[in-house]
Structure 1
Amino acid sequence: MAQSTVPYFCQWATPELAVDLIKGRAALADDANWAESGAADQAEYCEWANHVCGMACLKMVLAHRDGTAPPLLELARRSLPYGAYVREGKQIKGLIYAPFVEFVGEQFSLTASVQIDVSVDELPQLLTQYRYFMASVHPSIRQPQTPPPTRGGHLVLLIAADKDTVTFHNPSGDSRETRQHVTIKLNEFGRFFAGRGIAIR
């Protein structure tokens, strides 16, 4: 299947609101389309929307395979019994990789595996063995020319790679150019990439 057919989903219900959310000019409570996330109410959306980059990646995979996919918050709720997210007080920890792999295997018959200590040069080969790779990157990858403070903390869906570049969908991109079919050089991607993620067949 061609990479161009992989659909895109934002982790926020209104993609056009992303830049204002990122810059602090808007709050999640300002998102009038919150119900499209599958949240039971606005409070649930506000609690979860900043934590579901991994579920947005999963929704892209499912929609590519099946032509449709459940809403993001439904996916998140279904993953909770597996331990894909853990609550610590008012904080939500996750996505936690191993429980997520079990979740997608049992619920959606996806073959997935946790990948660690992956060098950026190994990504092209990895994507010949697997169809998708949910890669841990710093969220500032939407500005690849700017050095990130750390690596990791956010998930993007790699859909293609060659010896020079990677192409991915970013659930928290702040413009069309930083959201869909983003192609950057491998060495640029490596500055943000934490060397880990989830590979999916």
Structure 2
Amino acid sequence: MTVPYFAQWESRDLVSAFLSGKLHPSDDPLWHLSGASDPDEYAEWSPHMCGMACLKMLLAQQRKQVIPTIALMKECREYGGYVVNEDGGIKGLIYRPFVQFIADVFGLQAEVKEHTPVEDVCRWLEQEHVFIASVHPSIRTPEKIPPHPGGHLVYVFGRDKERREVIFHNPSGDTRASQEQVRLNEAVFARFYAQRGILIQLG
């Protein structure tokens, strides 16, 4: 299955520099493609755009629409999918408002899943569904043991049943290999996976 890839930052080849702090997101030369009004808004929001990058990939896959991540966020925020705290901290993606947002705006049928093992996700993938999964961001280095599951979202869209692998795009992968068409053994994926996410019906 060919699924378009988008990182949560516009310059996918600079993700490693953004993550390490060698480069500030406001210096992303492609920031204007995000839908942000200026580099500062882009820098503030791009670290939180993993969920919107997943939605962007889904819409590109299913609808052949490419909608900028921060433009998507601004609509999702109207539904309560993101909240800015008094101290300026950003809370989100908040699942249930997101599900309502994509139902109203894009006609997508989705539901929040909790306490859901990877085996259930694999079964749904074979039944015309995709899954936005909560995983630890260190899934980009699967040889490591994460301190805890969850904290980041990846777009899971396929399974290799014979090899018992899940196939996904990671919006914060820092190399091409850790970004696109990532294949991980189901048991390895489960180490990073928080057993929650958003199940979306295709078609």
TMscore range, shorter length: over 0.9
The answer as to whether partners of 1:6 and 1:64 remain within 8 angstroms in 2 is yes
Identity %: 46
Tell which deviates more after alignment, 27-36 or 190-199. Answer: 27-36
Match of 2:193 in 1: 193
Q: Determine helix, strand or coil for the equivalent of 2:144.
A: coil
The answer as to whether partners of 2:132 and 2:199 remain within 8 angstroms in 1 is yes
Match of 2:180 in 1: 180
Match of 1:126 in 2: 124
The answer as to whether partners of 1:151 and 1:191 remain within 8 angstroms in 2 is yes
Deviating 4+ runs (over 6 angstroms): none
5 Å-filtered alignment, 1:120-159, equals: 120-159=118-157
The answer as to whether partners of 1:124 and 1:162 remain within 8 angstroms in 2 is no
The answer as to whether partners of 2:27 and 2:39 remain within 8 angstroms in 1 is no
Q: Deviations over 1:136-159 (max 9, x none)?
A: 000000000000111100000001
Match of 1:81 among 78, 89, 93: 78
The answer as to whether partners of 1:101 and 1:113 remain within 8 angstroms in 2 is yes
Match of 1:40 among 37, 40, 43: 37
Match of 2:106 in 1: 108
Q: Determine helix, strand or coil for the equivalent of 1:136.
A: strand
The answer as to whether partners of 1:135 and 1:155 remain within 8 angstroms in 2 is yes
The answer as to whether partners of 1:130 and 1:199 remain within 8 angstroms in 2 is no
TM-score by length of 2: 0.95
* Mapped partners of 1:194, 1:48: distance in 2: 23
Match of 1:94 in 2: 92
Between the two proteins, the alignment pairs up a number of residues equal to 198
* Mapped partners of 1:169, 1:56: distance in 2: 10
5+ unaligned residues in a row in structure 1: which ranges?
Answer: none
1:26 Cα shift? 1.3
The answer as to whether partners of 1:170 and 1:178 remain within 8 angstroms in 2 is yes
Q: Determine helix, strand or coil for the equivalent of 2:126.
A: helix
Q: Deviations over 1:127-176 (max 9, x none)?
A: 13342100000000000000011110000000112441100000001011
5 Å-filtered alignment, 1:20-59, equals: 20-59=17-56
* Mapped partners of 2:97, 2:47: distance in 1: 20
Match of 1:10 in 2: 7
* Mapped partners of 2:61, 2:160: distance in 1: 21
* Mapped partners of 2:57, 2:50: distance in 1: 11
1:38 Cα shift? 1.0
Q: Determine helix, strand or coil for the equivalent of 2:153.
A: strand
The answer as to whether partners of 1:138 and 1:148 remain within 8 angstroms in 2 is yes
Q: Determine helix, strand or coil for the equivalent of 1:188.
A: helix
* Mapped partners of 1:148, 1:138: distance in 2: 7
Q: State the AA in 2 paired with 1:21.
A: F
